[in-house]
Amino acid sequence: MKKNKFAIVTGGSRGIGLGIAKVLADKGYNIGLISINSNRLSTAAIELSNIYPDIDVYTYSADVSNAERVSEAISFFTKKHAKVDVLVNNAGLFEKGSIDSFDLSDYQLLVMTNQFGSFNMLKCIIPVMKQQKSGYIFNIASMSGLRALADHGAYASTKFALIGLSQSLRKEMLPYGVKVTAICPGVVATDMTANIAITEEDKIQPEDVGKLISCCLDMSHSVSIDYIPVECSSQV
């Protein structure tokens, strides 16, 4: 058990984020969860603590698009664990629709959460990892950030942006011993994909994304991974 290790997961109260948190907890990481929904955060923390009683689970309710709240969250976590070994930028929204029918306020919400939310987290965590000269940042993007589908333009644009941000940051952080990888999953079995016409068994499972992250963490220091695409086998 790596009881001195600490990972922060945004959007960690359910879906992909909770699946990732479970895999990291199983590896012995203490966990910091961020979510906008305080009730779901409490439920997730109780679930993790019951399954993994030997780890510490901390929660902070915050909207990642709010830079001030993100700064407060990182201050809270770093008082618990001075060293942050892993950041998973997972918080995000999904909405589809043609460009001409897409409401501007809905697009702004996508951008603020999927792009600004990740940027706000990075802005706060990069100085921490630079100082400690270690760490691993995972940005949860999407296959839509690599290959956009019809009626996914608004969502895809935010994920293309996140991949670009991740790729640039990967090169910036290498001299500091910090790794950065974008994970680009297809359809994952979460509430947001409930209406997609693929059976739940044929969708990527949230823990599968966590297992990809686990594999990256097990790689030698000399390995630098740009991005990882992962698709449902039924959609290949």
Q: What are the catalytic residues?
A: 155
Cα(64)–Cα(91) distance, integer angstroms: 8
Domain assignment present for 221: yes
Domain assignment present for 1: no
Domain assignment present for 64: yes
Domain assignment present for 176: yes
| Contact indicator for 129, 135 with CB cutoff of 8 Å | yes
Q: Residue 208 is part of which domain span? A: 6-235
**For residue 236, what are the contacts with CB-CB under 8 A and spacing of at least 6?**
none
196 Rama sector, left if φ>0, alpha if ψ -120 to 50, beta otherwise = beta
Q: Can you give the CATH number for the domain in which 23 is found?
A: 3.40.50.720
Number of domains in the chain: 1
Q: What is the pLDDT along the chain (236 residues), one digit of tens a residue?
A: 456 899 999 999 999 999 999 999 999 999 999 999 999 999 999 999 999 999 999 999 999 999 999 999 999 999 999 999 999 999 999 988 999 999 999 999 999 999 999 999 999 999 999 999 999 999 999 988 889 888 889 999 999 999 999 999 999 999 999 999 999 998 776 666 656 657 666 678 989 999 999 999 999 999 999 999 998 776 65
Domain assignment present for 128: yes
Cα(21)–Cα(211) distance, integer angstroms: 10
